[in-house]
Amino acid sequence: MASDDPSKLRSHVWFNGREYYNFSRRANLRSLGFNRDIFKGKPVIGICNSWSELNNCNAHLRQVADAVKRGVWEAGGFPLEFPTISLGEQFMKPTTMLFRNLMAMDVEESIRANPLDGVVLLCGCDKTTPAQLMGAASADIPAIFVTGGPSLSGNYKNKPFGTGTDGRKIFDLYRTGQVSEEEMIEIEGCMVRSAGHCTVMGTASTMASITEALGMTLPGCAAIPAVDSRRYAMAELSGKRIVSMVREDLKPSKILTREAFENAVMVDMAIGGSTNAVVHLLAIAGRAGVKLTLEDFDAISRKTPFLVNVRPSGEHLMEEFFHAGGVPVVMKELLPLLHRDSITVAGSTIGENVASAECFNRDVIRALDAPLHPTGGTVVLGGNLCPRGAVIKPIAASPHLCKHRGKAYVFENYQEMHDSVDSMDLPIDKDTVLVMKNGGPIGAPGFPEWGHIPMPKVLLAQGVSDCVRISDARMSGTSFGTVVLHVTPESAIGGPLAVVRTGDEIELDVEARKLNLLISEEEMTSRLAAFKPAPPHYKRGYGKLFLDHVTQADEGCDFDFLHRLEE
């Protein structure tokens, strides 16, 4: 309920009163140099900052925080910035995904433990956005997101060069001797031109778009380039808005409804979002107490056209998506299919927010009746090789491989794959199905982005640029190819992937949503019965907590004890 009564503020308990601790807290806050007026009923707004020099994608967020502060002060609030762990996709080992839940716990408890009435969350790189969404949903005080935006578009020899996507393509040419060492050194300096997240529709751009679609940012936030002046203006507006949200008591639990998640999945399908979004959305929904399943993704995928012509599934980069109108235009196109009455942090509905959105480039954002593809970007598979599901992004796959039968060549783990994939003696051909085990949450551990098994050199030399690849790992959202991911249950806990042998036949049929290992039921049962798990990767510390409590991909890989409990 809307309230201007300062005694109703959550922070009131910390600072107002005649107890020793009230006095002591006031004294310690004043040590930061504030005068006593700050205690006159101003809502305390936390700015949860994932800035870090170990995370280049989020390296501009101190400046974004300054703009948020301007807005908070303007609106009569009192801003206090605080750090959390940050997860730099490019640097962290073994994988940032191992630490997404740790960051989500850090965000949740930092919000809950401190005298905050509302919070503005600053994120950007792949895992920082879902981790903050998970933490904010669990803490459930008024919260608004300012995503960091894509970095300046890469450019090499006067051609746009997308982070990840084009880097991988050029690296394949380098591996096969078609690009020189000198050129690669020059490209290093051309690919990532500023702070900000990847410039294609990878996981970071997808999660930013999804955050906007969920209603957790102001309209138009997702696609503004990281260093564009309009991102700072957006941050200032978000700082102003959170103060009103505190007065309106507009919490994540009022925004993150089942309808909001359906909207987000639909936008994910229309933008050709990263397969990682499936895992993250399942986890966020679990925190919000919303039942969302892989079946929901597939049902929404079947009825949502793919509209956004951005790499890796299209031609352009995020900057063109921004200039074409960004997420508001996509949502306006989707309005006949969306829940238009879903409320957003703006205090208005999705339908109201996008009513005046205008498309400025139809090559980048297609109309609903002229899509790039009639159905959505991600497909959920079933079958005896993935009884609890697997995902594939057919719009980034080779159409001729989407219905395919071939003999498996098995790598028992990532190291084995890495050590042999460039061997010219690898006994495979264009029809071989490459299978890699032990890439899941428990097996790797941490569910890394190993699923984009590099194309073997022996095939590249024959001019074969894609083949069917299957694993229980994830794949970078910037990647492409006929790649089946998130096979669940994973091999390390005895899922059927564990018992695939080189020479077995595998059948993939994307249209029919099937992934099958073509052995008899008796043979499958006897192989599964003989399965023995490897010893755990961790015996202590956070790693052990992760192994003991992480859920499988079809449940979002959150910890089992962090799902919202039934009231």
Residues that bind ligand FES (CB under 6 A): 57, 89-90, 125-126, 197-198, 202, 204
Look at the chain and count its residues.
567
C-beta of 199: minimal distance to ligand FES in Å?
9
- Nearest distance, CB of residue 90 and ligand FES, angstroms: 5
Nearest approach, Cβ of residue 324 and ligand FES (Å): 21
Cβ atoms 492, 463 nearer than 8 A = no
442 vs 203: CA distance, rounded Å: 22
> Which is closer to ligand FES, CB of 64 or CB of 250?
64
Question: Following CA atoms 175, 177, 183, 189 in sequence, which dihedral angle do they give, to the nearest 10 degrees?
Answer: 0
Spatial CA neighbour of 396 closest among 289, 300, 523, 311 = 311
- Token pair belonging to 107: 């965000």
Q: Under a CB-based contact definition with an 8 Å cutoff, are residues 451 and 439 in contact?
A: yes
Cα separation of 488 and 496, whole Å?
9
CB of 379 to ligand FES, least distance (A): 23
Our CB check for ligand FES shows the closer of 193 and 258 to be 193
In the complex with ligand FES, the residue whose CB is nearer, 63 or 90, is: 90
**Structural contact between residues 117 and 10, judged by C-beta atoms closer than 8 angstroms:** yes
**Cβ–Cβ < 8 Å for 337, 354:** no
**Nearest distance from residue 321's CB to ligand FES, in Å?**
15
* Residues in a beta bridge with 49: 83, 122
Kindly tell me which of 89 and 298 has the beta carbon lying closer to ligand FES: 89
Q: At closest approach, how far in Å is the CB of 502 from ligand FES?
A: 34
| C-beta of residue 179 within 8 angstroms of C-beta of residue 170 | yes
Among residues 224, 194, 235, 396, which one has the least CA distance to residue 321? 224
Indicate the residue among 274 and 344 with the shorter CB distance to ligand FES: 274
Q: Least CB distance from residue 426 to ligand FES, whole Å? A: 30
Closer residue to ligand FES (CB): 56 or 488: 56
Residues 6 or more apart in contact with residue 117 via CB below 8 angstroms? 9, 10, 11, 43, 44, 45, 77, 141, 142, 246
Residue labelled with tokens 């609106």 = 75
Measured in Å, how far apart are the chain's first and last C-alpha atoms? 21
Least distance from ligand FES to the Cβ atom of residue 447, Å = 16
Q: Which is nearer to ligand FES, 57 or 475 (CB)?
A: 57
| Residue placing its CB nearer to ligand FES in the complex, 124 or 489 | 124
